[in-house]
Amino acid sequence: MNSFLTTNKLKHGMLCYVKTVPNDTHMYIYRNGSWEIWEGQGGSGGGGFSLVVVEDLNELATKTALQIKGQIVYVNSVDDLRFWNGEYWESFRKIYI
């Protein structure tokens, strides 16, 4: 995350997931000059929004409980983020809100 600090790519509100940190499935948000654990919608204080990590794309087909519009999932086998768009799992690189 800190490698973004010296680039012009860093924007207020940017979300980040670091896949190389073992056992850390949190997403982080850049606010007020630093990275914070992203609380997700509503910020209810439940310990932060956790990113769901699955091993392969086949796992997405079997975990129908994840099929919630806007759900973000990291897929290890394809090294990609996917989100459920309401009909299917879609790949993305950037989200603009």
pLDDT band at 47 (very low <50, low <70, confident <90, very high): very low
Its pTM surpasses 0.95: no
Instruction: Give the number of domains in the chain.
Output: 2
| 18 vs 26: CA distance, rounded Å | 8
Q: Residue 57's domain is classified under what CATH number?
A: 3.40.1620
Arithmetic mean of pLDDT, 25-31: 81
Instruction: State which residues form the domain around 19.
Output: 1-46
- Sign of the Cα torsion 7, 8, 9, 10 reads positive
Residues 58 and 94 occupy one common structural domain: yes
Answer yes or no: do 1 and 39 share one domain. Answer: yes
Residues 6+ apart with CB under 8 A from 30: 1, 4, 10, 11, 12, 13, 14, 16, 36
Work out whether strand 80-84 and strand 89-91 pair parallel, antiparallel, or are unpaired: antiparallel
Report residue 94 CA to chain centroid gap: 11
